[in-house]
């Protein structure tokens, strides 16, 4: 069996809200292989977002081990985690999170700029990304001049410009109408088809069913895993 991309063992994460303690994740175990396509579902407060933040190295577990591509990452420093995020992990958010004052091209270029890639190479890669997403004529538009679907496509281009191993999408179609959402879903599935590991958090059962593997969460634990059921 090849090394899994993500291996979570007995992960615990709790938050303090005033006097009460919320156990967002309680001893969660999860293994996701390279190139998998998973949908994470569950009611609000079930720990989906916390799980995504942990997998995306934006948050640290209180207890438990996390191996990314065979490497223990919970003990890495903030800067090392930032480097790993930069090279290996892409994020797509429900509310797009585009920088409003930057053009579509500049938004897509952000990860390249942060990684210190020189301008000529950057321009080439951004142009390619824009062309492959059918946004070539929108390169100089700012986010407020783009439609919802276009904005999310820009966000996906930005998340994938560094060719990460893992793409995390948190409700990527949540703010889009059905047709546009369908379009964005197909785009994400196309990326998966090209070998990217894709994890989507969604409320939409229709969208969840499209994924080969479905993870249902409840009260900080995995209630069901379609991979285990098979």
| Interacting residue with other proteins among 72, 119, 123, 131 (CB under 8 A) | 119
Instruction: Examine residue 123 and tell whether it contacts other proteins (CB under 8 A).
Output: no
37-41 vs 197-201, strand pairing mode? parallel
Torsion of the alpha carbons at 111, 140, 180 and 48, rounded to the nearest 10: 20
We find the least distance from the C-beta atom of residue 130 to other proteins, in angstroms, to be 18
In order, the DSSP letters of 12-73 are EEEEEETTEEEEEEEEEEEEE-TT-EEEEE--TTSSHHHHHHHHTTSS--SEEEEEETTEE-
Among 16, 18, 20, 116, interactor with other proteins by CB under 8 A: 116
d(CA 208, CA 212): 9
Closest distance between other proteins and the C-beta of residue 209, in Å?
Answer: 28
Q: Counting contacts by CB under 8 A, is residue 111 touching other proteins?
A: yes
End-to-end CA distance of the chain: 17
Give the H/E segment covering residue 106: helix 104-114
85/138 with CB nearer other proteins: 85
Can you name the residues that pair with 30 across neighbouring β-strands?
Answer: 8
- CA 35 – CA 165 distance, rounded (Å): 8
Q: Name the residue nearer to other proteins (CB basis): 1 or 144.
A: 144
47 binds other proteins (CB under 8 A): no
**Applying CB under 8 A, does 172 fall inside the site for other proteins?**
no
Give the range of 1-9, 52-60, 64-72, 125-133 binding other proteins by CB under 8 A.
52-60
The answer to whether residue 18 forms part of the interface with other proteins (CB under 8 A) is no
By CB under 8 A, tell whether 97 contacts other proteins.
yes
Quick check: 85 binds other proteins (CB under 8 A)?
yes
Name the residues that contact other proteins, by CB under 8 A.
Answer: 53, 56, 58-59, 78-79, 82-83, 85-87, 91, 93, 97, 99-102, 106, 110-111, 113-116, 118-119, 158, 162
């Amino acid at each position: 069996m090849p090394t899994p991309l993500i291996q979570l063992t007995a992960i615990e994460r709790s938050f303090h809200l005033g006097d009460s303690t919320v156990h967002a994740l309680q001893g969660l175990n999860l293994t996701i292989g390279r190139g998998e396509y998973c949908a994470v579902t569950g009611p609000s407060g079930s720990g989906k977002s916390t799980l995504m933040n942990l997998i995306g190295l934006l948050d640290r577990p209180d207890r438990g081990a996390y191996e990314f591509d065979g490497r223990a990452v919970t003990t890495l420093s903030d800067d090392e985690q930032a480097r790993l995020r930069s090279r290996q992990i892409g994020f797509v958010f429900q509310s797009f999170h585009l920088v409003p004052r930057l053009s579509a091209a500049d938004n897509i270029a952000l990860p390249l700029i942060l990684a210190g890639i020189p301008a000529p190479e950057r321009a080439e890669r951004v142009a390619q990304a824009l062309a492959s997403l059918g946004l070539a004529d929108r390169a100089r538009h700012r986010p407020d001049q783009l439609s919802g679907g276009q904005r999310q496509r820009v966000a996906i281009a930005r998340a994938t410009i560094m060719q990460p191993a893992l793409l995390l999408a948190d409700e990527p179609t949540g703010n889009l109408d059905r047709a546009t959402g369908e379009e964005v879903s197909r785009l994400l599935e196309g990326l998966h088809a090209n070998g990217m590991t894709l994890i989507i958090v969604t409320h939409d059962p229709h969208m969840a069913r499209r994924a080969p593997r479905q993870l249902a969460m409840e009260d900080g634990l995995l209630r069901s895993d379609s991979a285990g059921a098979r």
